[in-house]
Amino acid sequence: MTVKRNRRKQTSSFDERLKRAAHEAREAAQCLPPGPQREMLLKKAGQAETAQRINQWLASPGQRSPR
């Protein structure tokens, strides 16, 4: 029996999805009082922004690795 994978055609680029995820997490964090849930959302936003920068670095031609 073979397992069928769910395949989805993405309508927006990976960079745009990361940017949207970071923006949505920051907006949600602003609505919450200080606490663990807010910190989790801010951490998620930071991770999405870091992933976006790494993706841009990997996609750019001729860049050298960071030192």
Spatial CB neighbours of 56, under 8 Å, sequence gap ≥ 6: 15
What token pair was written down for 50? 């870091």
Judged on CB neighbours under 10 Å (0-12, 13-18, 19+), 25 is buried
pLDDT in tens, 9-53: 889 999 999 999 999 999 999 999 999 999 999 999 999 999 999
Helix (H, G, I), strand (E, B) or coil at 17: helix
> Following CA atoms 8, 59, 26, 28 in sequence, which dihedral angle do they give, to the nearest 10 degrees?
0
Quickly state the pLDDT bin for 58 (edges 50, 70, 90).
confident
What token pair was written down for 7? 């395949």
